[in-house]
C-alpha cells in the first residue's frame, strides 16, 4: 500500500508541476508578445514625431506609392516628407506599421483593431505634412488647422487605446468591439472631411506656385478635386 501511495503522490506532484510550468511558460510568452507590441507601437509613434520637413520629391511614379486605395498626401504636391535623420517619413512609417501588424497579430489582437491603429498613424502623418505645408505657405489655413490637428490627435489616441485594451483585456474588448468600431468610423469620417477641406485649400494653384518658390524645386499643378483621398478608410 505505501508503494501505491508514494506512486500516487509522485504522479500527482508531477502533473501539478507540469501544469505550473506550462502556465508560467505561457504567461512569460504573453508578456513577451505584449512587450513586442508596445515596442512596435512606440516605434510607429517615433516615426511620426520625427517628421520635421518636406522637400521636393524625386519620385518617378506616384502610382508606386499607394497605401491601400489612397494616394499619399505628399504626392499631389510633389514633395517628400523627411525625418530628422533625412529618411523618407512615409517609407519609414510603412515599415514600422508592418512590424506593428506582425507583433499585434502574433499577440492575438484582432486585425480590425490593428488596422484602425495603423490607419490612424497614417492619418496623423498626413496631418503633420499638411501642417508643414501650411507653415511653408505662411498659415493660409488659419484656425481650421488647429481644429484639424486636435481632431487627428484625438482619433489617434482613441485607436491606440483600443489596441491596448485588446492587448490587455481581449475578451472585454471583443464584447464591445462593434460599438467601438462604429464610433471610430464616425471619428475617422469627420477627420477625413477635415483633411479634404485643408487639402483643397492648399492645392489651389497660387499656393502650389508659392510652395514651389519656397522649396526651390519643381512641384506639379494638380486639380484640387483630385487631391483629396477617395474615402475615409481607417
Query: Which pLDDT score, from 0 to 100, does residue 41 have?
Result: 94
Query: Which pLDDT score, from 0 to 100, does residue 218 have?
Result: 52
Kind of pairing, strands 66-67 and 70-71?
Answer: antiparallel
> What is the distance between the alpha carbons of residues 220 and 151, in angstroms, rounded to a whole number?
29
Q: What does the domain layout of the chain look like in residue ranges?
A: 2-227
* Cell representation of residue 172: 472585454
Instruction: Say if residue 168's pLDDT is above 80.
Output: yes
Instruction: Say if residue 190's pLDDT is above 80.
Output: yes
Share of the chain above pLDDT 90, in %: 60
Task: Give the model confidence (pLDDT) of 6-64 as tens digits.
Answer: 544 455 455 455 444 554 445 677 889 899 999 999 999 999 999 999 999 875 444 44
C-alpha distance from residue 30 to each of 35, 40, 81, 170 (Å): 8, 15, 36, 12
> What is the distance between the alpha carbons of residues 77 and 223, in angstroms, rounded to a whole number?
11
> What is the distance between the alpha carbons of residues 212 and 195, in angstroms, rounded to a whole number?
21
Mean pLDDT of the chain: 81
Instruction: Say if residue 141's pLDDT is above 60.
Output: yes
- Positive or negative, the CA dihedral 198, 203, 206, 210 is positive
Q: Looking at 4-18, 165-179, 183-197, which range is the least confident one?
A: 4-18
Q: Which long-range contacts (CB under 8 A, 24 or more apart) does 155-159 make?
A: 155/120, 155/123, 155/184, 155/187, 155/188, 155/191, 156/120, 156/121, 156/123, 156/124, 158/120, 158/183, 158/184, 158/187, 159/116, 159/117, 159/119, 159/120, 159/184, 159/234
Query: Which pLDDT score, from 0 to 100, does residue 101 have?
Result: 96
Instruction: Say if residue 66's pLDDT is above 50.
Output: no
Once rounded to an integer, what is the mean pLDDT over residues 84-89? 94
Once rounded to an integer, what is the mean pLDDT over residues 85-93? 94
Instruction: Say if residue 142's pLDDT is above 80.
Output: yes
- Model confidence, pTM: 0.77
Share of the chain above pLDDT 70, in %: 75
Q: Looking at 65-79, 145-159, 205-219, which range is the least confident one?
A: 65-79
Q: If pLDDT is split at 50, 70 and 90, which confidence band does 1 have?
A: low
Once rounded to an integer, what is the mean pLDDT over residues 154-161? 95
Amino acid at each position: 500500500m505505501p508503494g501505491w501511495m508514494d506512486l500516487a503522490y509522485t504522479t500527482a506532484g508531477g502533473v501539478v508541476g507540469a501544469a505550473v510550468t506550462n502556465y508560467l511558460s505561457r504567461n512569460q510568452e504573453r508578456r513577451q508578445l505584449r512587450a513586442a507590441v508596445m515596442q512596435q507601437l512606440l516605434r510607429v509613434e517615433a516615426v511620426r514625431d520625427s517628421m520635421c520637413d518636406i522637400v521636393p520629391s524625386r519620385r518617378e511614379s506616384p502610382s508606386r506609392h499607394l497605401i491601400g486605395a489612397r494616394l499619399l498626401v505628399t504626392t499631389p504636391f510633389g514633395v517628400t516628407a523627411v525625418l530628422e535623420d533625412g529618411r523618407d517619413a512615409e517609407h519609414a512609417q510603412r515599415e514600422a506599421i508592418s512590424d506593428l501588424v506582425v507583433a499585434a497579430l502574433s499577440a492575438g489582437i484582432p486585425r480590425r483593431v490593428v488596422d484602425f491603429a495603423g490607419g490612424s498613424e497614417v492619418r496623423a502623418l498626413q496631418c503633420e505634412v499638411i501642417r508643414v505645408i501650411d507653415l511653408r505657405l505662411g498659415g493660409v489655413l488659419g484656425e481650421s488647422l488647429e481644429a484639424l490637428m486636435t481632431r487627428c490627435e484625438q482619433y489617434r489616441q482613441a485607436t491606440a487605446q483600443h489596441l491596448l485594451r485588446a492587448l490587455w483585456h481581449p475578451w472585454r474588448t471583443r464584447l464591445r468591439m462593434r460599438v467601438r468600431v462604429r464610433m471610430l468610423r464616425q471619428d475617422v469620417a469627420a477627420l477625413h472631411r477635415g483633411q479634404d477641406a485643408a487639402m483643397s485649400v492648399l492645392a489651389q494653384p497660387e499656393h502650389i506656385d508659392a510652395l514651389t518658390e519656397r522649396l526651390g524645386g519643381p512641384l506639379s499643378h494638380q486639380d484640387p478635386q483630385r487631391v483629396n483621398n477617395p474615402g475615409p478608410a481607417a
